[in-house]
Amino acid sequence: MARRATWAGVILSALLVIAVTSLVIASRNSVSATQAAANATPPPPGPTSAEVEERPLAETLSVRGVITAPTAVTVSAPVSAADGVRSVVTGLPVQAGSVLTSPAVVAEVAGRPVITVESPGAFYRDLAFGDEGGDVSQLQQALGVRDTGVFDVATQDSLSALYETLGYAAPENDAPGTATEPDTIQPLADALEDAQANGDAALAAAELVLGEARAARDGGTGADAAVAQAQLQVDTARAARQRDIARAQRDLAAERERVRREELARGTRLDADEVVAVPFASTTVLDVSASPGLELQPGQEIVTLGDPTLRAITYVNMGEAQMLQPEMAVSITSSTLPAALTGTVVSVASEPSTVSGEAADPAAAAIGSTPSTERPYRVEVELAEQPPSSSVGTGVLLTVTVQGTGAAVVAVPVVALQRIDGADVVVTLPDRRRWEVEPGFTAEGWVELRSGAPPVGSLVETR
């Protein structure tokens, strides 16, 4: 009985201990509604920070543009073909991206070449021996012969040599209606001989009379008057002989020159459909519009040639145009270029373009970078490194450094600059020291600290 009572006491004591312990734990874990709300509120935020850096600062303008050739020349089919000849492309030795050195054959139409030569102006007419004008001078300069402004023998010979070098026969001038009769020179040569013979005979007869008159005078049977009269006849006969011979010689020389010129006029000529002027020694094939076997319509485009010195162009609005100036640095990027390029602004249009859309710039039209009402000002960028010629027409992103510090400067994020007690300061962490600074150039969220800056690498408070 006593053992049972003992065990009952032990159990009761244990239950009492457990109950007291649970009560203590529960009291520790239970909070009021007010305390629970307070516990749910986040702690007050601590200061955010950034490092003081040494870096160049730059304000930039980014616009879409395109790689293009600054000058383009279109080679087209002849406006009119010879009778019985169809304007079929029989050869096309170039492809887009090819770089050629003039003179060069860029196409062959109906078996005849289309040749480029370096010249500032187009050849707008056929030229043959004896033609004169500024276009003749341009041709002579392109051929490297003396510039006389007259299509002469040297010009013919040089043009013939050019065709021969390129593997073609030079075009000949048929000069219809100018055929020379084979006996036009001989009658004039005979007339010269007759003038000489007749003059000699007349002069000899006059001199005979003069001799007789002198003999009679000397013999006492003649008078001085008869001698004088005979001398006048000799002088007259001599002058007539010289006059008639000179006239006959002039007539013969003129006819020989006429025949020579007509023979030359039948020689090599310039066919304006076969020789295309391009304003540069080397040229890039920007586009090939035709293909071998294609029958061309009059004036149809065959190839487009351009300056091999490629540039980037874009169009901007008035505000952007006012920000840009020549010699500003530009970076050029594109996912299709082998590497990023650099360049320099070379021109900013002062007047808006009056032509819009593809007509203004076909290459730029491909990426929508053509002048418009909103963006009418053309900007050209000279490239420091030339990309492949196949890059013509590639859309690019142009990032222009409008202004900047150039060299690295001490700078902090703009949000680190504070205005306290009328001064510009930055606050370093964790010491919370105030540094009175002189802010300078600001760009892309950073501000230059011209003086009073904490050491580079310090943490500063941002807001």
Residue 439 φ then ψ, to 5°: -70, 150
Least Cα distance to 274 among 409, 111, 389 occurs for 111
Say yes or no: 244 and 316 in one domain: no
The string of pLDDT tens digits covering residues 49-81 is 999 999 999 888 899 999 888 777 888 887 666
Q: Does 424 map to a domain?
A: yes
- The CATH number of the domain where 351 resides is what? 2.40.30.170
Say which DSSP state 370 is in.
S
- The CA distances from residue 15 to 4, 11, 348, in Å, are 17, 6, 95
Q: Does 37 map to a domain?
A: no
Stretch among 37-46, 189-198, 414-423, 427-436 having the lowest mean pLDDT: 37-46
Strands 301-306 and 72-76: antiparallel
Residue 38 φ then ψ, to 5°: -65, -40
> In which domain, by residue range, is 323 found?
46-70+309-463
> Of 222, 255, 288, which marks where a domain is finished?
255
pLDDT value for 24 = 43
Say yes or no: 450 and 314 in one domain: yes
Say yes or no: 376 and 449 in one domain: yes
Tokens of 338: 């082998």
Say yes or no: 316 and 380 in one domain: yes
The string of pLDDT tens digits covering residues 154-170 is 999 999 999 999 999 99
Q: Does 18 map to a domain?
A: no
Separation of alpha carbons 310 and 70, rounded Å = 7
> Of 255, 271, 294, which marks where a domain is finished?
255
pTM greater than 0.95 = no
Beta bridge mates, 91: 108
Query: pLDDT class for 95, splitting at 50, 70, 90?
Result: confident
The string of pLDDT tens digits covering residues 384-415 is 988 887 788 889 999 998 888 889 999 999 99
- Answer for the pair 152, 144: CB distance below 8 angstroms, yes or no: no
pLDDT value for 84 = 65
Say yes or no: 379 and 249 in one domain: no
Mean pLDDT, rounded, of the chain: 83
- Answer for the pair 430, 47: CB distance below 8 angstroms, yes or no: no
pLDDT value for 129 = 86
Stretch among 112-126, 211-225, 288-302, 417-431 having the lowest mean pLDDT: 211-225
Residue 195 pLDDT exceeds 50: yes
Q: Does 33 map to a domain?
A: no
Q: Does 366 map to a domain?
A: yes
The string of pLDDT tens digits covering residues 335-390 is 888 888 999 999 999 888 765 544 445 444 544 555 566 778 899 999 998 888 77
Beta bridge mates, 427: 434
Q: Does 278 map to a domain?
A: no
Query: In this structure, which long-range contacts are made by residues 203-210, counting pairs with CB atoms below 8 Å and at least 24 apart in sequence?
Result: 203/234, 203/237, 203/238, 203/241, 205/237, 206/230, 206/233, 206/234, 206/236, 206/237, 206/238, 207/234, 207/237, 209/233, 209/234, 210/234
The string of pLDDT tens digits covering residues 212-263 is 888 888 887 878 888 899 899 999 999 999 999 999 999 989 888 887 777 6
Least Cα distance to 437 among 52, 28, 38, 27 occurs for 52
Residue 246 φ then ψ, to 5°: -60, -40
Tokens of 393: 């027409």
pLDDT value for 357 = 46
Reading across the β-sheet that carries 301-306, which strands appear in turn?
72-76, 301-306, 282-288, 99-101
Domain count, the chain: 2
Separation of alpha carbons 399 and 183, rounded Å = 79
Say yes or no: 204 and 346 in one domain: no
Separation of alpha carbons 19 and 15, rounded Å = 6
- Which positions ≥6 away from 225 have C-beta within 8 Å? none
Query: pLDDT class for 178, splitting at 50, 70, 90?
Result: very low
Q: Does 416 map to a domain?
A: yes
Separation of alpha carbons 271 and 278, rounded Å = 16
Separation of alpha carbons 64 and 332, rounded Å = 10
Beta bridge mates, 48: 462
